[in-house]
Structure 1
Amino acid sequence: MGETTYPDTEYGARYKNLPDVALRLNTFLGGGYNGQYSSFNLTSKLDLYRLDDKEHVRIELWSAPGLTKPIFAEASKQTYRPSAKGECFGPAWSNHWFRVTLDIPPGWRELERVQLDWDSSGEALVYSESGEAIQGLSGDSARFQRNEFVIPQRHRCSGSVTYLIEASCSGMVGETHNGRFSLRVADLVAPNMEAWRLKWDFETLKEIYEYCPDTVLGQRCLTIASRAMKAFKRGRPEQIAAARTAISDWIMQPGRHRSKSSEHSSTWALGHCHIDTANLWTYSVTQQKSARSWSSQLRLMEEFPAYNFTVTQAQQLKWVENLYPELFHRLKLQALRGRFQVIGATWVEMDTNIPSGESLCRQFLHGQRYFESRFGQRCTTFALPDSFGFSSQLPQIARLSGATNFYTQKMSWNLTNHFPHTSFNWIGLDGSQLLSHMSPTELYSSTCSIPEICMNITNHGNADVAADSIFLFGHGDGGGGPINWMLERLSRVQAVAEGCEAGGLLPTIKIDGSFDEFYETLREKTNNGMALPTWHGEMYLERHRACQTSQARIKRSNRKLEILIREVELLATLASIRDTDFHYPATALESIWERILLNQFHDVIAGTAFGRVYTEVEQMNEALFQELDQILQQACKAISAGQSVMVAFNSLPWLSRREVCSYDGHQTVFASTPESGHILARPIQWQDLVLPATVIHSGDEITISTSTIAIVLQGGRITSLVDIAQARELIPTGQSGGLSLYIDIPHDYDAWEVESYTLDDEEQLEFTDLEIVENSPLRTVITARAAVGEHSTATCRISIDNIAPSTRPDARHMIRFDAEVEWHDHHQLLCFTLPLNINSDYATYDSQFGFNKRPTHRNTSWDAAKFEVCAHTFADLSEYGYGVALLNDCKYGYTVRGNVMRLSLLRGPTEPDLECDMGHHQFSWAIYPHVGLYHQSDVADVAAAFNAPMRVVSAMSDGSSFAAPPFEMPIRLESSKSIAISAVKRGQDDHHTEAFTIIMRLYERFGGHAKAKLRISNLRVLKAELVNILEEKLAEVPLRQEGDGYHLDLLFGSFELVTVKLYLDL
């Protein structure tokens, strides 16, 4: 054996680190109690020099009038007055411009860094004198602070430099400081960058130790930190350098002892600043937030050459393009370099529960076209980090829009059941799939804390297959994005992770990647996704269930606008065919769609923004109704020219429907069948179709009997509903249907939540003052009133038309409720409940391009958690041979528990909008009994007609002439009843080219294969194509000549969405 260097004797005494060493970590960074150690700690050494005197920092101020938000060109021309630190300004949401002139001492010009420290209590944006938006600032709270503006070297060299700073009286997450703001900091600073780097080193060691104190890695970090503190002493320059040296041999040499595990997977750290398009601030504030956030990221890219940043939402980019064109140009340059990465694929990060299927299609159409036209690329990743659950048709819609991947983190918010997957294949109703990923950190705005970073290892649900993960970091919700210290942290974590002591506790970090590269890597590691688990159907979020009900007026306007714009597109398309002088209003409709899509942002349409947002949105919606009505009237005029009879516009000519319409105090019946294809339907001779209803009013009981049903209202409740043909009572003995009220106090997130316990305590309300106001051959009407809560009242018009709403021979009559409510009760939930003599384990809920079946039982926690769910125009409870549907014209919150159907009507949260839903409301719902199971019935047709009633557009004074033929659809759908049409419109690019094309979007709605025929008459068709949602060719469809027209045969898979493009020669 060789000689040993181990000493023979030792008289010293040593022990491992005692607890006081760990306690010293905070003191070293913070100064101890009342700062008594401030001259000994690191924080005291972070500045070399700091000046705020008027010789070096001169400040002037101009306040924009009111709440206006002038752009730089206007603000820079104004007259400024002297100002200084400490000046107060406001109110909330106002904007103030500071002109700041800095005189940099000659001795500072060669220092490593010179910066302006600025804190105006809120958000701000620094401009150069020439108008370049350089960087955003935020000083409203320690959590979001970005106070340092590094003065570029080219500006330092001049000795004196002037900036304009737009200071907004808003915080990162809304109004702060009770509307009063002050200029708290305006200092010219030379930071001690070596001390800052030591601070970043030390904070990383400290957090790692605190995360895993009993591990080899944790103890190693504590030991190294202790050595650094000993070397620091009093923080003289050479001592700071010695402290850094104590750390650098270990932390600053990545790869020295690479562990094998680090080669297998990566945490893909991508910068991001989630900006809610509206939330606790309005759209105009978001425009400023976007510029502030993204300009800051361009500066970080200069400082960190490997850093990449990702954004979503075409709308926000368009705002920056229009309001900050110079900044937008710089963003595009970085996009070309692959560093400013656009993903998302949609116009905004929309809610996916409430918008119609066609609206979801248009989100992708407008979003992808914008991304491609401005950035030369189509998004392959569909990203919704923060939406409140995900519709079952999204995979198909996304795939038909060019996206193959999906990203979110929201399913981690489930309160009852843990969502089991991180990387998985999400399979939609039709079988389409998206390669999907949920961040293990369960955040889209990580601040790069060690626990958050380590969740990429500890919380990865599919690490056994592929442990790669996406880690989005940067301040979010109100924007801001990453700050330099976050990137400094990541580089140090990466260095530690590659050391042998890491032991797999820290993930390896990759900051120069992209979403596209991540998903490509995931495909490579999982056999193109085949090794990953699958999730079928909707991703129901077990939280935020009240988002189907809050802000009812906005939801009503959205439903009405979706229907109206579909009707306008249909009529305008037909008008452009019929009348060559009619110009299809493509530009106007594109603008209207963009605003509708904007208002479907998830925090707006869900009802979870603050009150100013809804004041603005209601004004927008009113303007949209007016614009659409104007186009509708012009199109109707072009179509109905030459009509000499009363006609009604039928926007659903492919459905079977009958409807009683009123005109000039008269009533008549219009009808349409798919075979007739009437777009302008004519009255029918209805007398032989109608048996007048009988009405018996005795005491507090009213009975209405038609030829198919009989309903009894007793004591203000529905106590009996009988199907006459089957002699079947539909209301269980001793139970009743009607309005119900619940105390609605969620445990948090007032506007977002309704709780399971809310629905356990029902107060049944009774209609009073029942009066028969009409009993004509065509219609029976009862009016009633109800006291609701302590301060609210409802009046209801209960009616039954004596003509069934469908042309099916077995169609039953429908009971309709038209309510007007004066709502002034907070924290109450108003519902309509209907118990039924029907036994079924599942109920059917209308959804985009299909339906969802959900359990009526509560066998498992997954079943029980679905106590409030989303549906569009109806929910249906059916057993073999019979069912009942509960229809609505603007509501979305449903549940069926056992045999009881419930429709949520109104609620009254107070946060974030104190006046949410207070005031006047109008809405309608209906009970529709039917023969057969849901898919055997005409419920879908009746619900569609209930939401899109015919409207009389032309009439003779006496309505007596029926001679002139009505205008018919030149394109008719002949099919099994499972095919429906979502949209008829002109091609998106027709107004840019000489082409004349028609787009028709159809879908299979019952979940089976089907064949449909499109019959075309009185048109010359050059060719027909199947296209995707972006209206790009997928395949050519054979055109078959048939007399003076053509027909197309179309095949559909289960729940398949098919878009046809017809090229016409006119």
Structure 2
Amino acid sequence: MAAKYGIFMAGTTHFDPVWLWTWDEAMASIRSTFRSALERMDEEPEFIYSFSCPPVFEWIKATDPALFGEICRKVEEGKWELVEGWWVQPDCHVASGESYVRQGLYGQRYLQENFKMRSRSCFNTDSFGHNVMLPQILNKSGIDYYVFGRPSAGEMTLPGPLFRWQSPDGSSVLAYRCGGDGANQFSTSLDQDAYEASVKLPKFGHDLLMLYGVSNHGGAPTRKSIAQINSLIKDTEKTFDTAYTRVDSYFDRQRGRDIPEFCGELMVKAFGVFSNDAEVKKNNRVAEYALMNAEKAGIFAKCLCDIPYPKDKLRAAWHDLLFNQFHDIIGGASVKPAAFDARNMHGRVIQSAAEILHVSLQSITKDIDTAQEGFPVVVWNLNAFDVTVPIEAERQWAWEFDWYKGPLTVADSDGRICPNQIIQELSVLPGFRSRFVFVADLPSLGYRTFFVRQEKQPEPFEAKMTAGQSTLENDKYRIQICQKTGCIESIVERSSGMTVCAKAAEPVVRIDQGDTWAFDVDGFGEEAGPFRLISSRLLENGPIRSVIRTSAEFGRSMIEQDFILYAHTDIIEGRFKVFWREQHKVLKLSFNPLIEDPRVSASVPYGSVRRDSTSREMPVGEWLDVSGKNRGVTVIGDSFFACDVSGAVMNMTVLRSPIRGHLSWQDPIDPDGAYDYVDQGVREGRWKIVFHDGDWKKESIPEQAALFNNPVITVNEANHEGTRPSDGSFLKIDARSSILTVCKQAEEHEDLVIRLVEYAGRQDHVTLEMSPPGVIGLTMAPHEIKTLLLDMKSPAIKEASLLEEPDGSPGT
């Protein structure tokens, strides 16, 4: 007899805490949703409600404790399923890999603390695509099952609605695409849809899951839906089983069946959210690094100065940051007041992190011996690798000291002179302060102290670079500025005479007829016309660097670009400031590396992925690489979150300007209407271009990108005696292709948590050196995310899950 498969019904609410409304309105609406869900349980004993979202539960706990108590009782009875193991349903491209780790860590912790249980599943039904490293992150967070809705069947062909989704390291979760090729979701005719879906059951060879309820603004499953399901259950003539279900029970039933596998990104075609609202995306990245820096500094201060680790303050800041990663917030798909709220919340995160950071660092620098000639500047590198980097610093003179406009000398603690260049201070009050740039080596997770003297540096250090109004040159490269658009016209390698890049950072404007999500278009339109150069001038020229600033205009908009070439190095950087007043257009910066048969690689959260060389708009992390047989070019950015690659040309998206909250499949827009447009006003960002021999992995591109996005920190100290040395490093790592990302205190105890990521897809032998516990050796598997727990009072070290539990716990 042929196997009888089933269509199982999971009652839920797809709830957007922010979208076309703000969080306070959502808070009011969700209470009635939950009351309705509880009423359905009383009316239908078999009904099960599947929902969880920690910040939403916190709203209920604060505004209606009695209602929260009822929810807790239903969870204990098994009638309310905690179906989402993350903090919110986030966008799955923009954030860092660590943010997705924290979604699980803090989401699961909340459920355990409040309901005495965790979720084995993760609902992310409305997010716009899912990065390839998620199965490993989910698996190591105790999450076995993943339910998503996008990409739809029309956007991406998958083996079926149910498949085993695999990360490059081999970790996997069972994933289910609701709607589409499975069974319809959030339908108002459940019975009819179930009959139609049942004919597919023999083809799939497994049961189907049907979600029902009310979507977006709230709303529990209705009495009408309950009646339709009961009618199905009573139908003895149907060829399939039907029952109310928990989501985890549905997946448990599928174990042991022949489930197809898929390894790769789950990518949508609606690309608007990849680049909408560049400000909220950039603020997210700044906040992520700020929190991870604060954690590291907090550990240093605890170990060295016995200052309590600010666990509660850090956790609250992470909660805020994770909330802002909700897909409609960080995707720029919400209304203007919601974007304003997000900016304020990011400000709270960044300020909280800054307070922890500077209190922690200065608790250490106060004990450094700075009793030398000159004004001390302590420079911190909170990246877990040694760096040689340009450092910008600024010292105050008046009124503590005499006003001073003269030359400066910078020396390290051993008296060695570091060439420096005086640049424009952030204020415009000459003699009040001095700002300068110099290049120095800094240790991994450590600091060095430099001393600034009011005297002329040695004459050889004063030699300027070769530069003019439209050319920059050092001993490695010659840069020519385009006199039409103000971009870089060419970068020539001096040793070979080869042009290694043409039209770098060329501003390109294209027509963008898409709605907020770009649901209604397949891509951007034709070029809307060129920028026109207004001016090009030499802004800086000295022994450290030369800078040319260009200004160019398009329509009612302008772009100002600084092109920076450093002496005796291969560092080429750019800064841009856009004054944007266009609508229904997209702005890109284009880089043409002149590479044949290109291979395209892009960073993704905690990894990288190979992509096709097409003009399709795609999300991108901190870097994008195009490589050929013998050479390659990487563009690193702090404000690029989407791109397309046409041949070898990398087109990095700066901003796009659709109408906010506009869905084109509703009524057409009024041509005379007054609308809010995305990304109007000033937008700023930075980029760096790296040339290599064709293998980005050998060039340590992830480390370079991390340093670019997480620059060094300066602390202006006073002269004083101290017990601490002038230079120091707290942790050193010797690795070929692994990077240490996290150093924090565990949530439940005082163990040290260290996280490492292997990025090149090869086995790596890693040595960590710290005191205590000393030297630690370990092996990283290809693409592995590894978490370690260290007892700082003994040499004990344990591998752990992403929930900070030793091996043998969920995910191991």
TM-score exceeds 0.5:
yes
1:17-50 CA-to-partner distances (Å, cap 9, x unmatched) read xxxxxxxxxxxxxxxxxxxxxxxxxxxxxxxxxx
SS in 2 for 1:946: helix
Cα pair 1:889 1:946 within 8 Å, conserved: yes
1:441 and 1:453 in contact (8 A); partners too: no
Q: 1:465 to 1:878 in 2, by over 3 A?
A: same
> Could you tell me how far 1:561 is from its partner in structure 2?
0.5
Of 1033, 1048, 1051, the residue aligned with 2:776 is: 1048
Q: Measure how far apart 1:967 and its partner are.
A: 4.6
Structure number with higher relative contact order (C-alpha < 8 Å, ≥ 6 residues apart): 2
Q: 1:367 is aligned with what amino acid?
A: G
How many angstroms does 1:344 deviate by? Answer: 1.6
Give the aligned partner of residue 748 of structure 2: 989
- Relative to 1, partners in 2 of residues 1:455 and 1:614: Cα closer, same or farther, differing over 3 Å? farther
Q: TM-score, normalised by structure 2?
A: 0.85
Amino acid at match of 2:687: W
Deviation at 1:373, TM superposition (A): 1.5
1:378 maps to 2:118: yes
Structure 2 counterpart of 1:423, from 149, 157, 162:
162
Give 1:689-704 correspondences, 5 Å limit: 692-697=464-469, 702-704=470-472
**How far 1:817 moved relative to its partner?**
2.0
Task: Give the Å deviation of 1:586.
Answer: 0.7
Q: Residues of 1 paired with 2:505 and 2:770: CA distance?
A: 47
Relative to structure 1, the CA distance from residue 622 to residue 677 in structure 2 (aligned partners, 3 Å threshold; closer, same or farther) is: closer
For residues 78-119 of structure 1, give each alpha carbon's deviation from its aligned partner in whole angstroms, at most 9, with x where no partner exists. xxxxxxxxxxxxxxxxxxxxxxxxxxxxxxxxxxxxxxxxxx
Aligned partner of 2:444 in structure 1 is: 677
Name the amino acid aligned to 1:425: R
Shift in Å, 1:493: 2.5
1:550 aligns with 2:282: no
Shift of 1:952: 1.5
Identify the residue that residue 667 of structure 1 maps to in structure 2: 436
RMSD between aligned residues: 2.6
Q: 2:762 aligns with which of 990, 1001, 1008?
A: 1008
Q: Distance in 1 between matches of 2:740 and 2:516?
A: 38
| 1:723 match | 493
**One-letter identity of the residue aligned with 2:571:** H
Distance 1:878 1:1048 in 2: 35
Q: How does 1:600-999 map to 2 (within 5 A)?
A: 600-643=325-368, 644=370, 645-664=376-395, 665-672=434-441, 676-677=443-444, 679-683=446-450, 692-697=464-469, 702-715=470-483, 716-731=486-501, 738-746=506-514, 749-752=515-518, 755-761=521-527, 763-788=529-554, 790-802=555-567, 804=569, 812-814=570-572, 816-857=573-614, 867-912=616-661, 914-955=676-717, 965-976=725-736, 978-990=737-749, 996-999=750-753
- Offset at 1:723? 1.8
Comparing 966-975 with 307-316, greater Cα deviation is found at: 966-975
SS at match of 1:372: helix
Report how many aligned residue pairs link the two structures.
728
Tell me how far apart the structure 1 counterparts of residues 567 and 631 of structure 2 sit (CA, whole Å). 21
Instruction: Tell me which residue corresponds to 2:140.
Output: 400
User: How is 1:262-301 mapped onto 2 (pairs within 5 angstroms)?
Assistant: 264-301=4-41
1:557 & 1:736 partners in 2: Cα distance? 26
Judged with a 3 Å threshold, the aligned counterparts in structure 2 of structure 1 residues 755 and 726 are, in CA distance, closer, same or farther, namely farther
Q: Structure 2 vs 1, CA of residues 757 and 390 (structure 1 numbering), >3 Å: closer, same or farther?
A: closer
Tell me which amino acid in the other structure corresponds to 1:850: G
Distance 1:464 1:831 in 2: 45
Identical positions, percent: 21
Q: Which residue of 2 aligns with 1:508?
A: 241
Give the C-alpha shift of residue 429 in structure 1.
2.1
Shift of 1:712: 0.8
Match of 1:334 among 55, 74, 80: 74
Give the partner amino acid of 1:819: F
Correspondence 1:347 to 2:72: no
Q: 1 CA distance for matches of 2:492 and 2:331?
A: 37
TM-score by length of 1: 0.65
Return the alpha-carbon distance in structure 2 between the equivalents of residues 572 and 388 of structure 1.
35
AA matched with 1:353:
H
Q: CA deviation at 1:465?
A: 4.9
2:193 to 426, 446, 452: 452
Give the direction of change, closer, same or farther, for the CA distance of 1:576–1:840 in structure 2 (3 Å limit). farther
Q: Assess, with a 3 A threshold, how the Cα gap between structure 1 residues 1006 and 908 changes in structure 2: closer, same or farther.
A: same
What's 2:669 paired with?
Answer: none
> In structure 1, how many angstroms separate the alpha carbons of the residues matched to 2:275 and 2:541?
34
- The CA distance in 1 between the partners of 2:221 and 2:322, in whole Å, is 28
How far is 1:315 from its partner?
1.8
Supply the AA of the counterpart residue of 1:694: T
Shift in Å at residue 265 of structure 1? 1.1
Alignment partner of 2:168: what SS? coil
Post-superposition Cα deviations, 1:36-88, rounded to whole Å, max 9, x if no partner, equal xxxxxxxxxxxxxxxxxxxxxxxxxxxxxxxxxxxxxxxxxxxxxxxxxxxxx
Output aligned runs, 1:104-503, within 5 Å. Answer: 264-412=4-152, 414-415=154-155, 417-439=156-178, 440-441=181-182, 443-458=184-199, 463-496=202-235, 498-499=236-237, 502=238
CA contact (8 A) 2:598 2:626 kept: no
Q: Residues of 2 paired with 1:963 and 1:642: CA distance?
A: 6
Any idea what SS the aligned residue of 2:703 has? helix
CA distance in 2, matches of 1:541, 1:637: 46
Report the CA distance between 1:692 and its aligned residue: 4.8
2: CA distance between counterparts of 1:880 and 1:936?
A: 14
Aligned to 1:111: none
Q: Secondary structure at the match of 1:571?
A: helix
Residue identity matched to 1:771: R
Amino acid across the alignment from 1:549: S
Q: 1:890 offset after TM fit, Å? A: 2.3
* 1:465–1:459 distance in 2 versus 1, CA, 3 Å: closer
Per-residue deviation, 1:443? 4.9
Instruction: Output the CA distance in 2 between the equivalents of 1:693 and 1:451.
Output: 75
For residue 424 of structure 1, give the secondary structure of its aligned residue in structure 2: strand
**Alpha carbons 1:548, 1:891 under 8 Å: kept:** no
- The residue type equivalent to 1:717 in the other structure is C
**Structure with larger Rg:** 1
By how many angstroms is 1:338 displaced?
Answer: 0.9
Gaps of 5+ in 2: 371-375, 396-433, 452-456, 663-675, 795-812
Contact 1:690 1:778 in 2 (8 A): no
Q: Give, in whole Å, the separation in 1 of the partners of 2:583 and 2:166.
A: 40
In the aligned structure 2, how far is the partner of 1:766 from the partner of 1:773?
A: 20
Amino acid of the residue matched to residue 229 of structure 2?
Answer: L
> 2:261 matched to 1:534?
yes
Counterpart for residue 117 of structure 1: none
3-state SS, counterpart of residue 936 of structure 1: coil
The 8 Å contact of residues 829 and 908 in structure 1, kept in 2 or not, is answered as yes
Seen in structure 2, the aligned counterparts of structure 1 residues 692 and 813 have a Cα distance that, compared at 3 Å, is farther
- Alpha-carbon contact 1:474-1:482 (below 8 Å) kept: yes
Q: Any conservation in 2 of the 1:882–1:932 contact (CA below 8 Å)?
A: yes
User: Which residue matches 2:799?
Assistant: none
Is contact 2:461-2:543 (8 Å) kept? no
CA distance in 1, matches of 2:445, 2:53: 40
1:561 equivalent to 2:292? Answer no
Per-residue CA deviation, residues 402-434 of structure 1 (Å, 9 max, x unaligned), is 01111112221644x444421111011211111
- Aligned partner letter, 2:151: M
Shift of 1:495: 2.6
Q: Distance in 2 between matches of 1:510 and 1:286?
A: 31
| Matched-pair contact (CA < 8 Å) for 1:785–1:793 | yes
